[in-house]
Amino acid sequence: MLCKTMPERRVVRYGPKVEYGCVTGALSNPSRNPRPLPQGETLSAEDHRRLIGVLESVDRAADLPEFRERLVRALQSWFGFTGVAVLHGDTLADAIREGCGVQGGYTPEFLAEYAARWAGADPLRETWAAELISGRGVVGLAEIAPDAPFLSEFLRPNGINDKAAMVVDGGPAGVLFIGMAVVDAPRVPDRDLAVLHALRRHLAPLVVDQLDRDRDRRAALSNWQLTPREWEVADLAAQGLTNRQIAERLFIGVDTVKKHLTRALAATSCASRTQLALRFAAA
């Protein structure tokens, strides 16, 4: 049987000519050659992954209180920092002195001793220290106040060798202050300082957004006439925290919490914590 010859088919090519997997004609340099990672940097690739972990932990926070809580937990879990405080205010001095914010990892006894005897001796509460932190962004307490009795007579006997301090300036929205205890080194390690400098840069837009929204929220409820500290107490009470838990979070005594809460209930025309929670939820 004779085979019938089929007519030759014409193949039309579209796009660049392909020769053994090498693309020509479209790219000036088709080879994929990422540059090598820098050698000798303070932060390792693992540290950068941990930084991403912190950012991923806080970037979806619904409001400033949730953002603060998530940031404390993220710094503890991703970097192993033990005592962490996240404070905020209109200025750095306000944030540190008023202590509006949350903390984690400190014992009630330590906080009580701090409030009763050492708050006034804390160098970070001084104007000169606030100016220094604002200028540098990140500092170590032992670096700026190596001879402070607060360090030698209070922190170190309680197992804290140094403290790291970081500020994120949100401009008109306010500032966020982060303080961390150092227990496993005589002073803040260079690696931790590098971590905080990098974190500060990446946190800035998230912090500005949270501070802006929190300020707008308070402005909408300005008829309540609450002080920043009364806001803090009322907010935590509305979340279901007990007076003692609020005191531990805010570095104040239980009696002080009761006083602020009584004032907040009166200012918001609420008869109970449940009603206060409903008012905050509606806000």
pLDDT tens readout for residues 83-118: 999 999 889 988 888 767 888 899 888 988 998 899
pTM of the complete model = 0.78
Cβ neighbours of 226 (radius 10 Å): 20
Q: What whole-number distance in Å separates Cα of residue 124 and Cα of residue 132?
A: 10
Rounded to the nearest integer, the mean pLDDT of the chain is 87
pLDDT digits (tens, 9 = 90+) for 181-235: 999 999 999 999 999 999 999 999 999 999 999 888 777 666 778 887 888 888 8
Q: Please give, one letter per residue, the 3-state secondary structure of 35-82.
A: CCCCCCCCCCHHHHHHHHHHHHHHCCCCCHHHHHHHHHHHHHHHHCCC
Closest CA to 214 of 174, 177, 166, 269: 174
Lowest-confidence segment of 43-47, 63-67, 136-140 by average pLDDT: 63-67
Distances in whole angstroms, Cα of residue 227 to Cα of each of 23, 44, 131, 267: 67, 43, 24, 10
Q: Of residues 29 and 113, which shows the higher confidence score?
A: 113
Q: Residue 111's pLDDT is what? A: 86
- Check whether 7 has a pLDDT greater than 80: no
Distant-in-sequence, close-in-space partners of 145: CB < 8 Å, separation ≥ 6: 123, 129, 151
Residue 270 has pLDDT above 70, yes or no: yes
